[in-house]
Structure 1
């Protein structure tokens, strides 16, 4: 009996590498096919051309919902559905800004999400300029009474999201802090790495005062004017509408698993965008990358063991889509094997972070092997975040992966009129699909259990 047990164990151990080799061979074939596949480009072109900009709560977002359903069905996805919920909606109206004294200048601005409109006829006041958010935070309450606060803090260009994560505080909380100190308006240098007169919008916390982003050259102009010593006055005219609750949509499609359909790999991008540009890098590309990766796997002779679910989250920019999806699907979270979102443009992936302990599993070692020709590193550090819309699933216990894209140029385009299809490199887009397809297949067609591996890692 002992010999039989030992022989059976040896057979199982011998079988594992063979299975891993088969998995690696198929993943490598998917990788190579993805590099010449045009599905991601076609999907990106379709969304940006047929819908364009699609802010939450707008008629364009309704068109985007219908586009998502039609596209998933066209590509052969199953169980295509729309999960409807409510989320905030801030929509832009006419906007303008100008220096009225000591020297007249037109300013290039974009209102920030949740900005309050200016009074009829506009708002004119003296400005107070601060080169960093911390300089403004050092001011006592009342110090900015009756003024328009201006923060001109610059963003550092980095390969990952570090530069943005540091600089975005000035946009997100600056208006609130300015209002606490008596300011009647707030202007912030665009959280961007470009040097054009195209401002970059984005979300901000509600402050009760008008808030807008300045183009980088105009932020520097205000710095120079203030440095001359004479009072500088600016006039703002900002119109907008805000609804705390407006219809919103997560569009979902699946490739059902052949053996364990109740075990799910959740991937996707966000369908909504701001109202400038056509939302190409943010985030039509993410929608296209993950949809194309799933489609390539679906076209294999045999479907994967587990279900692959593509989610087009519908309210990432203004918030609420990830929370709504997690709430609607909370009962499934224990059966969600992995979740991750593509939402950093279309630059090549240079690093992947997996859940804790994952690299000890044969399927994940096979995946790492497949990445070598793409010059993508698999980090020994575990993933910390799978994306904004995946965060609520992660909080409920779903394992996540991080696929880090080269963001060196992403923040030149992000949230601006320059976020258009021509900025996307089709080869870089295809490289993304290759990495996603290899990872999703390796997870969906294996028995990897990241929760068990993480427990072992501890």
Structure 2
């Protein structure tokens, strides 16, 4: 999932009038204080059964274990992603839910294999590090070489003169960190003077580092290719996540030699040794394999509707992940929650009025590719979709729902939310009509097509610094009480959306003005990448 930044738009007269209408029209039962309140939450026996099943017969722990610990991380193009598609199909079928893999493209196949990263001089130390996704391999051989840092250059010509020095070396291309303590730790224990000094020094180091990279004439992303062409034997990075022990783990930018990310602590050791003339040497051994071109799939499951079988309520989550941890909160949580919602609904509501479709998308991390392909490839489904509910931001209970720019979302979302038990909705804040998301997660693929699609935004639990795309995104970070709450919320809303007498109104809001004085356009449908390598 990508980080979403909410813009502050200047409201025009029409939108102010619309907002007044929306606020005046929301029933007091679920508009009070901007929070959703429930009306007789367990009056409906179906909802009572949903609550009982979700709380007393939860399969979340087992699903999470099988997906995260047995299957593992699910990088597009890897055997683990293929195994995840097969596992989800089999699990749905075991519940009596029709499911299949649907190919939408292909990707460069890659299998990790084992890796070892060790410092062998001036002392022996096994280093904490991870081979980056799609990184080239040492073919199982241990490659030992000196580690060097980037010097200060005067200009691009000076960089070119230095470039031959990388031959036969491991090159460190990330800025070393001034401190390995996250800001909250400084705030708790540091004096105001030491915090101010640290922040000033850190800001200066960041600016100096960025200016030095710019002098090469290349970007930080393109630099690895230049270094490997000049004869470097490997690329060393460290992408700290501003939290104890956490690094972001993304894909390799090198195509010939291995790229590894090293923990802040060990990267700092190597950098200090190299800068002070100790000429550290490391040994790297990797056995990853390139698998050529492999197919990419979505997992699609459905509980067939009875009264309106060709109209749909879609439960949405992406199945793929990055590979530093096991993809637990991004987006194993969304996947197992939507699977559990489907299981509960199949048991409690086996014959819904509308078809409940579950989309577990592939290659979201490379640009919403699976869901964008589904929207383009299935116009007959998209055209008759009642609503899409999307989960993709961690392990927390849902606390925010935005109307995604649909004028009447306050009406039908309000009705559906008012049916959810109050203990589930008491913390949820709503924003109507809200703004259409142009990216960030898979609901945006449907919003672009004019379909009411909603991100069920969760409580953080330190998501962006601790687990989002990091080596710490693992099973132990899951909060199952919050996930059970999300199962009840989503199952109830899906049930109520499926039972509506007709398709909801899809009128789109008047978009706010941009800097040019013109209304911003509604997000456009974008083509997916149906083939690719790495990013």
User: TM-score w.r.t. structure 1 length?
Assistant: 0.74
Change (3 A) 1:139 1:50: same
Q: Quick one: which of 387, 398, 415 aligns to 1:338?
A: 387
Q: Quick one: which of 68, 72, 77 aligns to 2:92?
A: 72
Q: Where do residues 231-270 of structure 1 align in structure 2 (5 Å cutoff)?
A: 231-243=279-291, 245-270=293-318
1:365 shift after superposition: 1.8
1:285 shift after superposition: 2.3
Q: Which residue of 1 aligns with 2:493?
A: 439
1:113 shift after superposition: 1.4
Q: Quick one: which of 449, 454, 458 aligns to 1:405?
A: 458
Q: Quick one: which of 126, 133, 145 aligns to 1:106?
A: 126
Quick check: 1:202–1:317 contact (8 Å CA) kept in 2?
no
Q: Which residue of 2 aligns with 1:378?
A: 430
Q: Quick one: which of 78, 82, 89 aligns to 2:109?
A: 89
Quick check: 1:338–1:400 contact (8 Å CA) kept in 2?
yes
Q: 1:453, 1:28 → 2: CA distance?
A: 31
Q: Which residue of 1 aligns with 2:172?
A: 149
Change (3 A) 1:317 1:270: same
Q: Where do residues 151-170 of structure 1 align in structure 2 (5 Å cutoff)?
A: 151-152=174-175
3-state DSSP of counterpart to 2:241: coil
1:290 shift after superposition: 1.0
3-state DSSP of counterpart to 1:428: helix
Runs (4+) of structure 1 exceeding 6 A deviation are: 20-24, 153-158, 455-458
The answer as to 2:370 corresponding to 1:321 is yes
1:427 shift after superposition: 0.6
Quick check: 2:406–2:509 contact (8 Å CA) kept in 1?
yes
Q: Where do residues 12-31 of structure 1 align in structure 2 (5 Å cutoff)?
A: 26=44, 29=48
Q: Where do residues 166-181 of structure 1 align in structure 2 (5 Å cutoff)?
A: 174-180=220-226
Q: Which residue of 1 aligns with 2:482?
A: 428
Q: Which runs of 5+ in 1 are unaligned?
A: 1-15, 159-168
1:107 shift after superposition: 1.8
Aligned length: 424
Greater alpha carbon shift after TM alignment, 217-226 vs 138-147? 138-147
1:430 shift after superposition: 0.6
Change (3 A) 1:422 1:105: closer
Q: 2:220, 2:231 → 1: CA distance?
A: 11
Change (3 A) 1:330 1:203: farther
Q: Quick one: which of 254, 259, 269 aligns to 1:221?
A: 269
3-state DSSP of counterpart to 1:451: coil
Q: Quick one: which of 41, 53, 65 aligns to 2:61?
A: 41
Q: Which runs of 5+ in 2 are unaligned?
A: 1-26, 30-37, 185-209, 214-218, 513-518, 520-535
1:83 shift after superposition: 1.0
User: TM-score w.r.t. structure 2 length?
Assistant: 0.65
Q: 2:280, 2:356 → 1: CA distance?
A: 57
What RMSD in Å do the two structures reach over aligned CA positions? 4.3
Quick check: 2:249–2:323 contact (8 Å CA) kept in 1?
no
Q: Where do residues 270-309 of structure 1 align in structure 2 (5 Å cutoff)?
A: 270-273=318-321, 278-300=326-348, 303-309=351-357
Summarize deviations over 1:25-73 as a string: whole Å, max 9, x none.
6596477444555133332234345544555445444443332222112
3-state DSSP of counterpart to 2:453: coil
